Amino acid sequence: MAGTTAEYIQHHLTNLTFGQLPDGSWGFAGSAEEAASMGFWSINVDSMGWAIGLGLVFAFLFRKAAKNATAGVPGGLQNGVEMLVEFIEETTNSIFQHKNDLIAPLALTIFVWVFLMNLMDLVPVDWIPKFAELIGIPYMKIVPTTDPNITMAMALTVFVLIIYYSIKCKGGIGFLKELCFHPFPPIMAPINFILEGVTLIAKPLSLGLRLFGNLYAGEMIFILIALMFGAGAVYFLFGGVLQWVWAVFHVLIITLQAFIFAVLTIVYLAQAHDVEEH
């Protein structure tokens, strides 16, 4: 693994990227600079792999809980799943006042999936990257939500749903009227369109960048704390205390960020269904 502090940090912040190499062939990037030069058609294999894998873990656990559900005293897994489902259902019902059977399952999926991806930030920063190097994999980032490609992909998916339901519930003309004739009088339609357009575009940006920024900062702090372990006994002990304190606090952060993403999704989709003003 990289020797200097700068190389250590850069190594831990570099994705395992697959794309077109400078010589025209396709393969894995050997450095952060090479990964950046691959352009749009590259893919961060580690982020995608961990995101899909954690999604499968989520599906497996919830399917197992549903399959083994009993009317008697529930087991630990069933009890946990039922609590999550009830919590998301109550949250959705308190915000979303329209009829759409997709919203609550979508919010549940987002909350649990984002939480599991965030949870990987609590794995010690050196464990999996070091193991990956032992088997010949140069880079391995295990927290998908520290990759803006992942967070923005999720946010843009929600954005597509916002546009779809806005047009479906309000009609194409109604949606355009909302963009052009609100909040100022119709004579100021160009200004309204700019303001409402910015507001609309800000929705996926707020979803994706908020999640990315918080988790990226959290990962960076863990990396900086890990540097203390090689600076002598006193710093090792101090770093251990800081690691524990930050990990405890970070449990709140990863849960809160998953909840915020889910709640904002519900709010934005509720606004897309709202037709009272038309």
Q: What is the pLDDT of residues 114-135, one digit of tens each?
A: 999 999 999 999 899 999 999 9
What are the tokens at 25? 């062939």
**N-term to C-term CA, the chain:** 60
* pLDDT tens digits along 150-209: 999 999 999 999 999 999 999 999 999 988 988 888 888 899 899 999 999 999 999 999
* pLDDT tens digits along 243-274: 898 999 999 999 999 999 999 999 999 999 98
Asked, for residue 19, whether it belongs to a domain, the answer is no
Output the pLDDT for position 228.
Answer: 83
Asked, for residue 235, whether it belongs to a domain, the answer is yes
Asked, for residue 257, whether it belongs to a domain, the answer is yes
User: HSE (CB half, 13 Å, CA atoms) of 217?
Assistant: 9
- CA–CA separation, 171 vs 183, rounded Å? 19
Output the pLDDT for position 148.
Answer: 96
Active site residues: 206, 210, 214
Percent of the chain predicted with pLDDT > 90: 69
Asked, for residue 266, whether it belongs to a domain, the answer is yes
Q: How many domains is the chain built from?
A: 1
pTM value is: 0.91
Owning domain of residue 184: 56-131+145-273
The sign of the CA dihedral 203, 209, 212, 217 is negative
* pLDDT tens digits along 76-109: 888 999 999 999 999 999 999 999 999 999 999 9
Asked, for residue 40, whether it belongs to a domain, the answer is no
